[in-house]
Amino acid sequence: MMGAISIRQAQIADLNAITSLLLQLGYNATEPQLQQYLDAPKRSDEIYLAESEGVVAGLISLIFFDYFPSQQQICRITALVVTEASRGLGVGTQLIDFAKDRASKRGCCQLEVTTSMRREKTQAYYESIGFEKTSFRYIQAIEGK
């Protein structure tokens, strides 16, 4: 059982927690790399942490973008992770509800999320809370990056 969850914007002081959460998603970012990223003035994303009694329990990052074909704005969850100790306690769902609220306030018409095709449990979770699988995403590396 955990205390009440509060959600707040990520800060430079949270680098250690952010690093370990991203590692759980398979991303090996270093604290200096993350600090440089978080300090970038023109970032187009928002990063939030779920916290309970001063302990970080999860992270969500969002981007907002214009989608030309429908002339609407969309909010995409680019990362969602809950610490192993906090899984199954509703933290992820609270973070998604928070994302829906942010998206609504920004005038978005939909919330979308991507996940690896390997993460079958994650896909089942998203479908269980009302997300619908609507497309495939193909990626190609850009030379020199």
Per-residue pLDDT tens for 47-70? 999 999 889 999 999 999 999 999
In the chain, the domains with their CATH numbers are 5-128 (3.40.630.30)
Among 64, 91, 59, 94, CA closest to 76: 64
DSSP three-state, residue 133:
coil
Mean pLDDT of 58-86: 94
What predicted TM-score, i.e. pTM, was given to this entire model? 0.90
Going by pLDDT thresholds of 50, 70 and 90, the confidence category of residue 135 is confident
Give the per-residue pLDDT at 13. 93
